[in-house]
Structure 1
Amino acid sequence: METMKMLIAFDGSDNSLKAVEYVGNIARNCSGCKIVLLYVERLPDKDRFSDDSAWEKQCAENEQNIKLKLSEAAKKLVSMGVHHEEVQTEYFASCKSPFHETDICSTGRSIGMDILRIREEGGYGTIVIGRRGVSKAEEFLFGSVSTKVVQSAVGCTVWVVN
């Protein structure tokens, strides 16, 4: 029997937590699942900080906060009946991050495209993503990660949880 592999795009928002709960309700007591909670790092704009030190401090705080939220989301899945060995978290760092030196990293150009690349490389059959809740005007001007994933996904199932 083939393992069901699901990738939950997680950003710590209420909608990404709804996506976690949705998966928990579907995958509870399912043996042979692999569920990965994925966060793709988006670094804060350096221009908003007085110097590199202040920016690096904020980057470190952001990473610590999201890793805590990832851990809490994984615990939520387990509390809903998903086996703990079937749940993983991944923090996908930006190549420009001051703390990570890795060859495998986010391009920083498009979180949606990074999610799709990770899905393909990992062989995940399903992507689960929360809808951010931006207005149509904001989505038109700035884009939306969930919209990008839905429009560009090939060869997989995408669940958008609202």
Structure 2
Amino acid sequence: MDCTHIMIAVDGSENSMRAVDYTAAIIGCRGGFTVQVVHIERLPDRDLFPDEAAWKENCNAYAADMRRFLADSRQKLLDAGMGSDDVTELYVPSCQRPSPDQEALRCSHGATISQEILRCMEEGGYGTIVVGRRGLSKAEEFIFGSVSSKIVHHAKGCTIWVVS
């Protein structure tokens, strides 16, 4: 794995934007790095909405918000001095999405977010994964788990940056 080939996994939170900011500060104006900002889509349960139309509207609004977040993340890296050819975005839609993304090269099959991030890492040959740390207490982390904790425990052959 090439440690200069970096994947930043984001979820739209302040902590994931801090991971972008940290990466920008560390490598921004140095050459020789490539970065892909990745988001794995997780759709809300259909049962939370009164009807199919409301669910689809929510899913589409979420996708639009996350695509803006990816674009903002990319722009932060460019503003820090990275070249436009060195920073890319990847939105991995859910395979259960109500309006399938015809342009998507792959989709998330419903595995855990951490498994999908690790799959992207392996497929993309990333040597470094950057994630924001979710603000969980030790008890919450034990009960619910945390994406960053699972990545740290299951990733092999790469460097993990967990930014809080």
TM-score under structure 1 normalisation?
Answer: 0.94
- Conservation of the 8 A alpha-carbon contact between 1:131 and 1:161: yes
What runs of 5+ residues in structure 2 fail to find an aligned partner?
Answer: none
Tell me the residue number matched to 2:39: 39
Tell me the residue number matched to 1:140: 142
Find the aligned partners of 2:4 and 2:138 in 1 and give their Cα distance.
34
What runs of 5+ residues in structure 1 fail to find an aligned partner?
Answer: none
Aligned length: 161
Shift of 1:31: 2.1
Shift of 1:91: 0.3
Find the aligned partners of 1:70 and 1:98 in 2 and give their Cα distance.
21
TM-score under structure 2 normalisation?
Answer: 0.93
Identity, % of aligned pairs?
A: 45
Runs of 4 or more off by more than 4 Å in structure 1?
none
- Conservation of the 8 A alpha-carbon contact between 1:3 and 1:32: no
Q: Any idea what the Cα deviations from partners look like across 1:108-146, whole Å, max 9, x if unmatched?
A: 230001000110011000000000111222212211111
Find the aligned partners of 2:72 and 2:83 in 1 and give their Cα distance.
15
- Conservation of the 8 A alpha-carbon contact between 2:3 and 2:158: no
Tell me the residue number matched to 2:59: 59
| Matching of residues 96-107 of structure 1 within 5 Å | 96-100=96-100, 104-107=106-109
The amino acid of 1:68's aligned partner reads R
The amino acid of 2:4's aligned partner reads M
